[in-house]
Structures are given as structure tokens and as C-alpha cells.
Structure 1
């Protein structure tokens, strides 16, 4: 446990720089899935490592050792190192837990507040009388496409259909769950916060491709997204953070990708992309194996301290 427990805490600093390149290196859908899996997996392993450090230190306290029926103290790490590390780990774990709860409550509260602001309706499309042009996919049951009268006036009918197809793809793909999971994971390790932007880009690209397929014209989809983004530049940020919108992210890169005639749904397109994906999977596996190994070492140390063979 002495060395293995630190690996899940250090691996994210190595994995995140490579993960940020996935949004461009891989097709949108596998990039979004892998980014989310890496974020959640590394966050869980990091939290487990903090928990193991805190538990190892707590077992050195007399009343905790008595509760665990330890007849001899744990001797893997000197008290001068184990106790301070355990205190720091316990504080960090508590702060991460509070941040996790606060973020989850904020996500749910923002979505509920946005749904309360809408006029009661059973339709998928919710038109808001507002001259500020904006539109987004609001998750929930049922999911809603929120669009203002200002945005409707900024687009022609064909472009509106492309915009609606984009937001509908977000709802059907339940993309808000990917974004919410990554944001929650970022509360457990600071380096994971920088993965939100590439993940959001990958999710927007997924919806861009779906919209292009729905309207049967990649140029039309690109024009709709570009015009919507230009119209929304002066609109205030009224959408929940868990909601996705066609005007989010680096729009010029997304438009250029739509105008690129190469199929975005192709398998891993280059050797570099395969290497990045393999490196991330290796980092995730190393983090998980190290956390399991540290837990097994701690369990073995407890059994030894309990006098069991």
C-alpha cells in the first residue's frame, strides 16, 4: 500500500493532457464516451485512494484499533508519516464530498428552475417570448427544446429545422448525463476540471453530425449553427450548465468539421488516435489496479494486526 495508494492520485495529472486531445483525434461519439469513462474512473480511483489513506491512519488511533480488534499496530508505514497523510486525506475527502453534493444539488436545482420558467405544455418545443436569441436542450421528463422568439427570427425555416435537430440529438443521446457525470467527477480531482471543454465539444459534434444527417445537408447544418452562434453572442447565459446548446463550444471548429466531407463516424482514424486511446485506457487500468492492490494490502495488514494467520 505504501506506493500503490499514491498512483491513483498522480495518474490524472498524466492522463488529462492526453485526454484533451481526444476531441479532435477521435470521432465524436467514441471521444465523448471515452472522456466520460476516463473522468469518472479516475475520479473514483482517486477518491478510493484518499479513503484508504484516511482509513490506514485512523486504524492507528487506539479507539479505532479497538473497534477493529487489532492486537498489534499496523507497521507498514511509520506513525510520523501515516498520521499526517491520513489527516490530509480525510480533510480532502470531506471537502470533495461536500463539493460533490453541492454540485449535484446545483445541477438539479438549475434544471428544475429552468423547467418552472417554461409555460406548461406537453410539446417537445418550448418557445419563450424573448428578443434575446438563444436555444438549448433542457433535460428532464419529457426533454424540451427551449428556443426564444429572437432566435426564431434570426434563422430561416430550413435553419430552424437544423437547429431543432441538433437540440433533439442532445435529448435523445442523453448528453446531459455525460456532462453532469464529468462535472461531478471533477469535484474529486482538480486536474479533471479541464476535461469539461473537450467533452462538451465532442458532445456538440455528436449533435452536429446528427443534425446534418437529419436535414440531409451538411452545409445547411453548418450555416444554421454559425448563424445561431452569431445571433446568440449578445444573449445572456440563461441555460443550466447541464444543458447543451448548438451555440456552445468552439463554433468555428465545429463548422469546419461539418464542412469536411470525410465521414465523422469512421473508426479510429489514425495511429496517433489509437495510441492516445490506448494510453488513456492504460492509465485508467493502472489507477484501478493500484487502488485494488492498495486495498488488498491494507486488508492484509489488518488481518495481520488482528493476529489472524
Structure 2
């Protein structure tokens, strides 16, 4: 083993941290794709590196058992893994897998709860709530408070915004960001920026559908101002970066980045998938290409 084992993960963490602290000059749709891909791949790289080192440490402790481990999962130089590296790798890998599993289970529970509530809409609360519930039997979940206090034009904005979330499957982007932030706390800024990018993406779709950017901005601000402090973070429509979203809608529409967006996304997908493949010791070119294609879907 040598310290080059950790270089790909270090590069991924550096990239994720940089993207989490940099405002990308891209349309929100491309920003969301870049951030989600980076967050998910960095989480996979971190878990893969930890498990890889842990396996090799176990092989150091029990060389006879190494014969039953696939060759790609072992270091090529057969150098022993010191305990000062192997023991933390085991602990951190176990903790990372536990946190990732807990985050996934919590997310699925929230999704199932939202789908069950969908059948009893509107919600019995005066807090203005609008939530996109993904899935075959999903839809837009509204509260009585929103239906009573919002005009027909404002409700149209809300439906267009939430429909954008459903149409583009934004829950997958949110899950990728949440996974990265759960496994690696340094990626929390990236997750926050990803959530904002997803909301901005839906805002722009609503503005394009209604043809009135000012109306969309007013609707977002109205929902945010009507939400009491005790309502919690799950009021969806006005939950993330309200000030930034309103300011963006009152400004010039963002460029679609028809050329730069796809190029940056493809380049980012290739780099992150390649680095992730290295951390997982997938040396075969076919496997690396497969990961790159999955990252770009």
C-alpha cells in the first residue's frame, strides 16, 4: 500500500468542496447536474476507498483468507496495511455505510409518508404548503392554507414549479446531495448549493411556462412570508434560498448554456467517474466507461 491510494478521493473531496463554495455561471439545470454527479461520486469514492483499505487490512491480518478475495480488491504490491491506517478505515467505513443506510431509509420513509398523504389532499393546515410527490401515483400535494390564500395565477405558478420537480425527477438530485453530505460533512455546502440549484431550475421552468418572472418571484416571497417559524423545513415550495431565488427571478433570465453546459457536464462526469473507478480499483477500461455513462444519464 502507498499513499497514492488516497489521492483520487482527495481530488474528489477538493472538487466537491470547491463546487460547494463557487457560484457556477451556468443555467440552474446544468449546475444541479454537475453538483449531484459530484456529490454522489464523491460519496461512492469515499466508501469505496474505506472498504478497499479495510479489506486489505483484513488480508494483512489473515493472509490465508486473501486467496478468497477477488484480485481487483487487493493491492498489487502485497504490502501489509499498517494498523494505524487499517483500523480507522474499518471504523470509518462502517460508520459511513451506517450513515448512508440511515439517510436512505429516512428519505424513503418521507417519500412513503408523502405518498400516503397524497390520497387525503389537501392537507389540513393553514400553512401554505406545496410538495412534489414523485412516483407512479404521485403528484402535487397542497395545503388548505395555500388553496385559500393564493390566487389562481399564483396557484398556477406553484403547480408549474412542482411539476418541474416531478418532470425532471429532482428528488434524485436531492437524494444524491443528501447522500454526499451524510457520508462526508465537507460536502454539506455542496448539498445546500444543489438544493438551491434544483429550486432555481423549477423557478425558471415556472417563469417560462407563465411568461411572468415577477409573478413567480412574488409567489415565492408570499409563500415564504406566510410560513410561521414553527412550520419546519418541509414546506418545499419556499424552503431553500428564497432571497437568492427572488433576486434571480427579478433579474435577467439565465443563459441556457446549450454548448458549455453539456460540455462541462460530460467533462465532470468523465473525471468523477474515472476517479471513482480508481478508488474502487476497477482497472478495466470497460468498467470505467460504464461508470462514466451511468454518471451522464
Task: Provide TM-score, normalisation by structure 2.
Answer: 0.81
Deviation at 1:247, TM superposition (A): 0.1
Structure 2 gaps of 5+ residues are: 284-297
Q: Superposed, which structure 2 residues align to 1:219-258 within 5 Å? A: 219-234=214-229, 236-237=231-232, 239=234, 245-258=236-249
Deviation at 1:21, TM superposition (A): 4.4
Deviation at 1:235, TM superposition (A): 5.4
DSSP 3-state at the match of 1:127: coil
Deviation at 1:230, TM superposition (A): 1.1
Q: Confirm or deny: 8 A CA contact 1:40 1:185 kept in the other structure.
A: yes
Residue 6 of structure 1: aligned partner: 6
Residue 265 of structure 1: aligned partner: 256
DSSP 3-state at the match of 1:136: strand
Residue 33 of structure 2: aligned partner: 33
Question: Is 1:171 paired with 2:162?
Answer: no
Whole-angstrom CA distance in 1 between matches of 2:238 and 2:55:
46
Q: Superposed, which structure 2 residues align to 1:118-197 within 5 Å? A: 118-120=118-120, 126-197=121-192
Residue by residue, what CA displacement relative to the aligned partner does 1:257-306 show, whole Å, maximum 9, x if unpaired?
A: 1111244424578xxx99x97996686367336426x565xxxxxxxxxx
Whole-angstrom CA distance in 1 between matches of 2:76 and 2:237:
57
Residue 214 of structure 1: aligned partner: 209
Whole-angstrom CA distance in 2 between matches of 1:188 and 1:31:
21
DSSP 3-state at the match of 2:122: strand
Q: Confirm or deny: 8 A CA contact 1:133 1:150 kept in the other structure.
A: yes
Higher relative contact order (CA 8 A, sep 6+): 1
Whole-angstrom CA distance in 2 between matches of 1:135 and 1:295:
43
Residue 57 of structure 1: aligned partner: 57
Structure 1 gaps of 5+ residues are: 121-125, 297-309
DSSP 3-state at the match of 2:29: helix
DSSP 3-state at the match of 2:162: helix
Whole-angstrom CA distance in 1 between matches of 2:49 and 2:255:
38
DSSP 3-state at the match of 2:236: coil
Question: Is 1:97 paired with 2:92?
Answer: no
Whole-angstrom CA distance in 2 between matches of 1:93 and 1:5:
15
Q: Confirm or deny: 8 A CA contact 1:27 1:268 kept in the other structure.
A: no
Q: Confirm or deny: 8 A CA contact 1:2 1:76 kept in the other structure.
A: no
Whole-angstrom CA distance in 2 between matches of 1:145 and 1:295:
42
Which segment drifts farther, 22-31 or 161-170?
A: 22-31
Query: Which of the pair has more CA radius of gyration?
Result: 1
Deviation at 1:118, TM superposition (A): 4.0
Q: Confirm or deny: 8 A CA contact 2:9 2:279 kept in the other structure.
A: no
Alpha-carbon distance change, 234 to 168 in structure 1, aligned in 2, over 3 angstroms? same
Deviation at 1:12, TM superposition (A): 3.8
Residue 300 of structure 1: aligned partner: none
DSSP 3-state at the match of 2:65: helix
Number of aligned positions between the proteins = 281
Alpha-carbon distance change, 68 to 286 in structure 1, aligned in 2, over 3 angstroms? closer
Alpha-carbon distance change, 115 to 286 in structure 1, aligned in 2, over 3 angstroms? closer
Whole-angstrom CA distance in 2 between matches of 1:111 and 1:278:
30
The alignment's C-alpha RMSD in Å is: 3.3
Residue by residue, what CA displacement relative to the aligned partner does 1:232-259 show, whole Å, maximum 9, x if unpaired?
A: 24451273xxxx8220211111111111
Alpha-carbon distance change, 282 to 260 in structure 1, aligned in 2, over 3 angstroms? same
